[in-house]
Amino acid sequence: MLTVDRVSKVYRTGAFGTNQLTAVQDVSFDINPGEVVSLIGESGSGKTTIGKMVLRLASITSGTITLDGVDISTYRGRGLKNYYRHVQGVFQDPFSSFNPIFKADRVFAMLKGQYFSSMGRDAWQHKVEAALDAVRLDPAAVVNKYPHQLSGGQLQRLLIARALLLDIKVLVADEIISMLDASTRIDVLNLLAELKADGLGILFVTHDLALGNYISDKTVILQKGVMVETGETTAVFTDPQHPYTQQLLASVPRLDRRWQK
Amino acid sequence: MGRYLGRKGLIYALTLFVAVTINWMLPRFMPGDPISDMVSRAGLRDPEAAARMQAYYENLFGLDVPIWQQYLNYWGSLFSWPPDLGISMWSFPRPVGDLVMGALPYTLALLIPAILLSWYVGNKLGALAARRKALDNTVLPVSYLLTATPYMWLAILLVWFGGMQLGWFPSSRAYSGNLVPEFSMSFIGSLALHWVLPFLSLFLVALGGWAIGMRNLVIYELESDYSNYLGALGAPPRLIRKYAFRNAMLPQITGLALQLGVVLTGNIVTEVVFNYPGLGLLLLNAITSTDFFLLQGIVLFVVIGVLICNFVIDIVYVWVDPRTRTGLQGASA
Amino acid sequence: MTDMKSSPAGRSGAAAPAPDPASAAPGQTATTDPLGAAPALAGRRRSEMLYFALRNPKVILGLSVIVAFLLFGLLGPLFSEFGPRERNAGPLGAAPSSDFWLGTTWTGQDVFTQLAHGTRATFQVALMAAAISAFIGMTMGFVAGYRGGRLDEILMMITNIVLVLPVFVVVIVVTAYLGISNTATQALVIGLFNWTWVARAVRAQTLSLRARDFVDLARLSGVRTLSIIRREIAPNMASYLVMTFILLFAGAIVFAATLDFLNLGPRGGMSLGLMLQQANQQAAMSLGLWWWFVFPGAAITAITGSAYLTNVGLDEVFNPKLREM
Ligand SMILES: Nc1ncnc2c1ncn2[C@@H]1O[C@H](COP(=O)(O)OP(=O)(O)OP(=O)(O)O)[C@@H](O)[C@H]1O
Ligand SMILES: [Mg+2]
- The CATH number assigned to the domain holding C105 equals 1.10.3720
Give me the amino acid identity at C192.
L
A201 alpha carbon, distance to own chain's centre: 10
For residue C97, count other CB atoms closer than 10 A to its CB: 12
pLDDT value for A24: 95
Q: What is the ipTM of this complex?
A: 0.90
Quick check: B148 pLDDT over 50? yes
Residue of A nearest to C156 (CA): A15
Q: How confident is the model at residue B95 (pLDDT cuts 50, 70, 90)?
A: confident
Please tell me which residue, B167 or A197, carries the higher pLDDT value. Answer: A197
Quick check: B322 pLDDT over 80? no
Under DSSP, is residue B95 helix (H, G, I), strand (E, B) or coil? strand
Of B10-24, B186-200, B237-251, C198-212, the poorest mean pLDDT is in B237-251
pLDDT value for A253: 66
Residue of B nearest to C303 (CA): B148
The answer to whether residue C324 is domain-embedded is no
Average pLDDT of chain B?
A: 83
Give the separation between CA C90 and CA A219, rounded to whole angstroms.
93
The answer to whether residue C325 is domain-embedded is no
- Nearest by CB to A146, from C42, C216, C221: name it: C42
Above pLDDT 70, what percent of chain B?
91
The H or E element containing residue B260 is: helix B237-274
| Interface residue A150 vs chain C (CB under 8 A) | no
The answer to whether residue C323 is domain-embedded is no
Task: Flag if C216 and A100 touch (Cβ within 8 Å).
Answer: no
Quick check: B81 pLDDT over 80? no
* pLDDT-flagged residues of chain A (< 70): 14-17, 253-261
Please tell me which residue, B84 or C196, carries the higher pLDDT value. Answer: C196
How close is the nearest chain C Cα to the Cα of A45, in Å? 19
Domains of chain B, first to last: 105-288 (1.10.3720)
* pLDDT-flagged residues of chain C (< 70): 1-47, 320-325
Set of chain C residues whose Cβ sits within 8 Å of the Cβ of A148: 39, 42-43
pLDDT value for B326: 54
Task: Flag if C172 and B259 touch (Cβ within 8 Å).
Answer: no
Residues 6+ positions from B98 with CB-CB distance below 8 Å: none
Residue of C nearest to A58 (CA): C216
pLDDT value for B34: 66
Most confident range (mean pLDDT) of B62-71, B181-190, C80-89, C109-118 is: C109-118
Q: Which CATH superfamily is domain A2-249 in?
A: P-loop containing nucleotide triphosphate hydrolases (3.40.50.300)
Instruction: List, as ranges, residues 39-78 from C with C-beta within 8 Å of A.
Output: 39, 41-43, 46
pLDDT value for C46: 66
Give the separation between CA C66 and CA C54, rounded to whole angstroms.
14
The answer to whether residue C138 is domain-embedded is yes
A202 in Cβ contact with A192 (< 8 Å): yes
| Interface residue A79 vs chain C (CB under 8 A) | no
Give chain C's domain count.
Answer: 1
Please tell me which residue, B183 or B60, carries the higher pLDDT value. Answer: B183
Could you tell me where the beta strands, DSSP code E, fall in B6-79? none
Distance from Cα A43 to the centre of ligand 2, integer Å: 7
Instruction: List, as ranges, residues 151-210 from C with C-beta within 8 Å of A.
Output: 153
pTM of the model: 0.86
Of B45-49, B97-101, B108-112, B157-161, the poorest mean pLDDT is in B45-49
Arithmetic mean of pLDDT, B213-229: 84
pLDDT value for B26: 76
| Burial class for B80, CB neighbours closer than 10 Å (0-12, 13-18, 19+) | exposed
Domain that holds residue C37: 3-318
